[in-house]
Amino acid sequence: MSSADKFQQAVANRHQYAREWKQRTGGRVAGYLCTYVPEEVFYAAGMLPVRIIGSHEPESVTSPYIFGMFCSHCRDCLAQGLQGRYDYLDAVSTAHCCVHSFQTFDSWRRHIPVEHFYYVSMPQLIQSRGAQRSMLAEVTVLKERLEADLGRSIPASAMEQAIGVYNRNRRLMRQVYELRQRDNPPITGAECMEMVMASQVMDKEEHSRLVESLLKEFEAAPPVREVGVRLLVAGQTDSADVVRVIEELGTTVVADDLCFGSRYFWNEAVDGKDPLAALAQRYLERPPCPMKDLHGVRVRPGYLLDMAKEYRVQGAILIRQQFCDPHEYDMPAIKRLLEENGIPALIMEQDITIPLGQLRTRVEAHLELVQQEIA
Amino acid sequence: MAVQQRYPTRPLECWGKLEELRRRLVRDTYSARERGDLVVLGGPGPLPSVLCGLGGFQLLSPMPIGPDMQDLRLLTKMNELATAQGYGNDCCATLRIALGSMLMDRFGMNKRTGEILKPDIHFESLACQGQMKAQQLYQEYYFQLPSFVVEMPWQEEPRQADVDYLESQLQEAVEWLQKTTGREFNDELLAEGWLNEWRSRIYFSRIMEYQAAVPAPLDQKMLASFATLMWRGAMHLPEIRDFYKEAADEVAVRAKEGIAALATERCRLFHEGPVPWYPSNVLRYFNRYGAVCIGSWLYCTEFGNFTVNEDGSWDVCPMPEDMGLPLKTRDDILHSMAVVFTRYNPRPQLGARIDHRVNMARHFKVDGAVFALDRGCLGNTCGAMESIVAFKEAGLPVTSYEGACANPSELDQGEVVSRIDAFMESLGLKPLEPGRPLLQAEVGG
């Protein structure tokens, strides 16, 4: 089995993986909803942080708790919890981001028995002068609460080690992403997304070993594949199948801005005297999601244009979860800027279930536009 | 045949002054240039008094409280324009109207003269997700308008870190305001404005606290009218402070003497969630059953500063002189602002709002609750479904309807009326008088 296949398997069998990890190590598992949770703190405490992910199956269990016009991803995540699929979690955490993820967290807290809940009240105005101090206070509180709940201290050396493990994992995934800048990227967008999603549900050291194997496989014999149209995918989706369908239509997704993609791991925690301060800074400085890009002039459109140029993107697909208003507010501005720079962009909405036929038709139509632009 | 009890009722004596103040605030806004006032694009949320240090200013609020709200066809058009720009129905309904208004070159229009008032700067405190993102659209519309925003921290519980974060932002804001406007920042004016705002908020909180009395001295529509001065961002003005004191005193007398907002009160309701900004009879539709909407957690926390106890009673924020905080220097003033808006501001405590609602409902002796599930206000809809579950578990009858506070086309009148009628019937109430339509004008066309 190739490393890429192993990533896919890890995501598909994530619940089994976590249960086996618990059995094997006797450790505890912490689920988190938002990637602004400084999961290194859980890791330093000897826990396995895993991202809570939806299943894209029809559900009828969340409607008493979440208004129907809340984000489909968040409803899907809560449905997993209500259906008992995350019954192995010892803790659930999220960071202050959007009301959708907060609602999922709060409903989880109210209706699904879990020993501990941790809410990281992260600042939204990440560029403000007080943000660093505020975030440091949050990371410190998280660590202290974990210490109290686990009944043991988390020494600075454990924090430093966790940061080192995470940084290494991020560095390795960035190496993979850099290969996507090539004329013939050795990896597809779907495979890349599965690599990142696997890192969100696996032990980081084990995942890093797999990424190293992947890089070695590319060195030995890079896969040969028709590249077709080079695409950027941005917004929010937790489905590699969506990317796979897009790539079946004569394209390669060579870059992404997703919290199940580059936004999750792009920057490292820079070494410093205080590991908690380094962590706080890392989460403030990571590529922002729409809820952290709030000052008067948005930074995300320019950031995405730079990424598109760096990866020589020819078209873009902007995916948003149905009723995800933060992404909805950003997408017209992103689409406008990309198109002003000759990169046709398609905004697509995704619900809990994904009608792949409809998706295929819309992408095909968009690709016709992209081909005209290329010609 | 049972005789329906009737409470004494009478009009509010301060009502005339309220209307005059509202008219004056509008006149002042559109004559800003004559006095050399700074025109600030910004929401009326907390902290307009930060601007007081700059001297005269007028707030041009994106919140749709102007005459455009009266025209349902115009509203529908504005909503359509926002949709055409890519901002769908799940984006903040009120702020979609502001965007539509800008796209139609009507935003800031003096409806009497047709003159457009353009803002000099954008300054806003961000209290909800929709507002946080929507304010960027105004930046894009008013290209190169200098902008500064302050985040009101969301909290699980009041903490010192949140006080520090807000205080730090306020310090940064003052520096930015000075640098951007070139005006000298007057700390005495800042203190005066803030202390007025502080007092206005406390009087306003007390007004709402009196709603626990039976019969309710005010109904929710009266409360909404009182709040218009707050929505105008005028709570820092001495005459507004004085008005709220006068109003609080009058409402206290009404509560003590049993003067009712609705003479036939026999059922007390919370109407939770946003109420249509456009003219509607939603809040008073219940009156035909002898039911009165007395307030809600949302209304109380919009401009009230208090903490909620476990029994639902309140500890209203102390007056400045009773708080025990130094109030001499700029640092003192900004610190006290941060303290008031973190320690006595239940609104950002999203997780607590459900328990607050249930406890307050008991304390205010309500017989049930009606939830407006707003398709265009996800911030206020957060926790609504959980609140419904909690009300039911607490044995409090509850119903809900969907709509959008600034989009009349989202309100299905027939369905809402049917739901309300069925809810009233389930409470054992029969109509005392004929009903009126929910909307006062046709939509669309």
Task: State the nearest Cα–Cα gap between B139 and chain A, in angstroms.
Answer: 6
Do A128 and B132 make contact, defined as CB atoms within 8 angstroms? Answer: no
Task: State the nearest Cα–Cα gap between A62 and chain B, in angstroms.
Answer: 10
Do B386 and A295 make contact, defined as CB atoms within 8 angstroms? Answer: no
Binned average pLDDT, 10 residues per bin, chain A of 375 residues: 94 98 97 98 98 96 95 96 98 96 97 97 94 96 97 97 98 97 95 98 98 94 88 96 96 98 97 92 97 90 98 97 94 97 96 91 94 86
Of B162, B378, B385, Cβ closest to residue A65: B385
Do B381 and A124 make contact, defined as CB atoms within 8 angstroms? Answer: no
Residues of chain B in contact with residue A297, where contact means CB-CB under 8 angstroms, are 136, 139, 147
Which chain B residue shows the shortest CA-CA distance from A327? B133
Do B86 and A328 make contact, defined as CB atoms within 8 angstroms? Answer: yes
Of B90, B150, B162, Cβ closest to residue A325: B90
pLDDT of residue B70: 84
Q: Is 50 exceeded by the pLDDT of residue B333?
A: yes
Of A129, A141, A294, Cβ closest to residue B149: A294
Which chain A residue shows the shortest CA-CA distance from B379? A99
Q: Report chain A's C-alpha Rg in angstroms.
A: 20
Task: State the nearest Cα–Cα gap between A171 and chain B, in angstroms.
Answer: 32
Of B146, B169, B350, Cβ closest to residue A125: B169
pLDDT of residue B277: 85
Q: Is 80 exceeded by the pLDDT of residue B4?
A: no
Closest CA to A344 of A374, A322, A324: A374
Residues of chain A in contact with residue B159, where contact means CB-CB under 8 angstroms, are 121
Task: State the nearest Cα–Cα gap between B246 and chain A, in angstroms.
Answer: 38
Residues of chain B in contact with residue A64, where contact means CB-CB under 8 angstroms, are 385, 388-389
Do A294 and B126 make contact, defined as CB atoms within 8 angstroms? Answer: yes
What sign does the dihedral B141-B231-B155-B163 (CA atoms) show? positive
Tell me the average pLDDT of chain B.
91
Question: pLDDT by residue (tens digit) across B88-108?
Answer: 999 998 889 989 999 999 999
Q: Is 70 exceeded by the pLDDT of residue B444?
A: no
Which chain A residue shows the shortest CA-CA distance from B147? A296
Do B381 and A70 make contact, defined as CB atoms within 8 angstroms? Answer: yes
Q: At B61, is the pLDDT very low, low, confident or very high (cuts 50, 70, 90)?
A: confident
Of A67, A121, A326, Cβ closest to residue B129: A326
pLDDT of residue A14: 98
Q: Percent of chain B, pLDDT > 70?
A: 96
Residues of chain A in contact with residue B350, where contact means CB-CB under 8 angstroms, are 99, 102, 106
Q: At B143, is the pLDDT very low, low, confident or very high (cuts 50, 70, 90)?
A: confident
Per-residue three-class SS string for chain B: CCCCCCCCECCCCCHHHHHHHHHHHHHHHHCHHHHCCEEEECCCCCCHHHHHHHCCEEEECCCCCCHHHHCHHHHHHHHHHHHHCCCCCCCCHHHHHHHHHHHCCCCCECCCCCCECCCCEEEEEECCHHHHHHHHHHHHHCCCCCEEEEECCCCCCCCHHHHHHHHHHHHHHHHHHHHHHCCCCCHHHHHHHHHHHHHHHHHHHHHHHHHHCCCCCCCHHHHHHHHHHHHCCCCCCHHHHHHHHHHHHHHHHHHHHCCECCCCCCEEEEEECCCCCCCECHHHHHHHHCEEEEECHHHHHHHCCEEECCCCCEEECCCHHHHCCCCCCHHHHHHHHHHHHHHCCCCCCCCCHHHHHHHHHHHCCCCEEEEEEECCCHHHHCCHHHHHHHHHHCCCCEEEEEECCCCHHHCCHHHHHHHHHHHHHHCCCCCCCCCCCCECCCCCC
Q: Is 90 exceeded by the pLDDT of residue B67?
A: no
Residues of chain A in contact with residue B161, where contact means CB-CB under 8 angstroms, are 133-134, 137-138, 141
Q: At B150, is the pLDDT very low, low, confident or very high (cuts 50, 70, 90)?
A: very high
Do B172 and A65 make contact, defined as CB atoms within 8 angstroms? Answer: no
ipTM for this model: 0.95
pLDDT of residue B16: 98
Q: Is 90 exceeded by the pLDDT of residue B385?
A: yes
Q: At B1, is the pLDDT very low, low, confident or very high (cuts 50, 70, 90)?
A: very low
pLDDT of residue A273: 83
pLDDT of residue B413: 87
Q: Alpha carbon A241 to chain centroid distance?
A: 15
Do B165 and A290 make contact, defined as CB atoms within 8 angstroms? Answer: no
Residue of B382, B391, B393 to mutate, interface with A, max A Cβ within 10 Å: B382
CA atoms within 13 A on the CB side of A261: 25
Residues of chain A in contact with residue B379, where contact means CB-CB under 8 angstroms, are 99
Of B129, B137, B385, Cβ closest to residue A98: B129
Q: Is 70 exceeded by the pLDDT of residue B172?
A: yes
pLDDT of residue A224: 79
Question: pLDDT by residue (tens digit) across B7-49?
Answer: 999 999 999 999 999 999 999 999 999 999 999 998 766 578 9
Question: pLDDT by residue (tens digit) across B263-285?
Answer: 999 999 999 999 888 888 899 99
pLDDT of residue B445: 34
